[in-house]
Amino acid sequence: MSARKKTTIIAAACLLVSLSGSILIAQHVERIRPHDIVDDALYITSSKMVRRASLGFDGLMACIYWTRAVQYFGHRHFIRERSYNELGPLLEITTALDPHLLPAYQFGATFLAPAPPNGAGQPERAVELMYYGIEHNPENWRLYYDLGFVYYTELHDYKKAGEVFEEGSNVPGAHPFLKVLAASMAEHAQDFSTARLLWSAAYQSSQDTSIRQNALEHLRAIQVDEDVTNLQNAVTRFVQANRRLPTSLWEVVTAEHWQGLTVDPDGIPYELSFDGKVLVAHPDDFPFATLGLPPGYKPTPKFHTQG
């Protein structure tokens, strides 16, 4: 075999081995790299500076920052972090670079506003972001929805929420549910049906998996709250009628002439505590539920999403 052929074979083999080697190692390194370094390496936090540094490639940089924002939140949520300090700046920089990157606003409304561990706990910042988005995208009704959403769910300012939904319903092409929501805000802000409407709207109108999952969890929680409220009312009626606590919820079912025992969205029956409180069997499965939780219960985040 000529020297050249020998060299060719050895070099080709070397190429294949090192190619596979480098890919395998790269994958492994990804796993062991300390990710907080990645997260906190937002060296430039001023959107103006980033804009200048992008040298005109604003769109590309916006995409890069958006990708990072999603990864950042997803990763931290997965490892059950309790702080998301960089989410606000990331979203602000993204939208500063590209004010028309609509998914960023929706993401901000959903995950910037709620309190930790489900969000960054910065509802005012989220509101600012929404107003910025509306300013640059006045023909987009969805942003009004997101804004109203934040007022309703986190700030509990039902009057403002109503105003915003109303304004949004006037945008040409707006979804009819905005009008409905506006009306509900006025009188039935705290009704379960209103909340259900809000979260169903969120679920239907988003493409983003994490947002849909989030909405689904809220709908489940609303169901639990509603069930617990109804059950608790029934228990109260029973106590009034029989002057004693029911021994179990079956007694209540019989008294109310219901078809069967109410079950939670997972199909597990509710329970009655010894002191007459209605409880959900597995509170961990309903992270947003506010009723039916055992006393002294501290919620631990358990999303069904992947990291």
- Of 37, 135, 48, nearest to 86 by C-alpha is 37
CA dist., res. 125 & res. 215, Å (int): 21
According to DSSP H, which parts of the chain are helical? 3-32, 35-40, 47-53, 58-78, 87-97, 102-111, 123-136, 141-153, 158-169, 177-188, 192-205, 209-242, 249-256
CA dist., res. 21 & res. 28, Å (int): 11
CA dist., res. 71 & res. 4, Å (int): 48
Residue 269 DSSP label: B
Closest CB to another protein among residues 25, 261: 25
Min CB(25)–another protein separation in Å: 4
Query: Of 15-44, which residues contact another protein (CB under 8 A)?
Result: 15, 17-19, 21-23, 25-30, 32-34, 37-38, 40-41, 43
**Residue 8 touches another protein, criterion: CB under 8 A:** yes
Min CB(12)–another protein separation in Å: 6
Min CB(129)–another protein separation in Å: 21
Could you tell me the sign of the dihedral formed by the alpha carbons of 270, 274, 277, 283, in that order?
negative
Q: Of 1, 4, 94, 236, which lies in the binding site for another protein, with binding defined by CB under 8 A?
A: 4
Closest CB to another protein among residues 67, 254: 67
Q: For another protein, what does the binding mask look like between residues 56 and 95, x meaning CB under 8 A?
A: -------xx--xx-xx------------------------
Min CB(116)–another protein separation in Å: 23
Min CB(201)–another protein separation in Å: 24
Which is it for strands 278-279 and 271-272: parallel, antiparallel or unpaired?
Answer: antiparallel
Contact 204, 216 (CB under 8 A): no
Min CB(214)–another protein separation in Å: 17
Q: Where does residue 121 fall: left (phi above 0), alpha (psi -120 to 50 degrees), or beta otherwise?
A: left
Return the range that interacts with another protein (CB under 8 A); candidates 6-14, 143-151, 153-161, 182-190. 6-14
Question: What residue ranges bind another protein (CB under 8 A)?
Answer: 2-4, 7-8, 11-12, 14-15, 17-19, 21-23, 25-30, 32-34, 37-38, 40-41, 43, 63-64, 67-68, 70-71
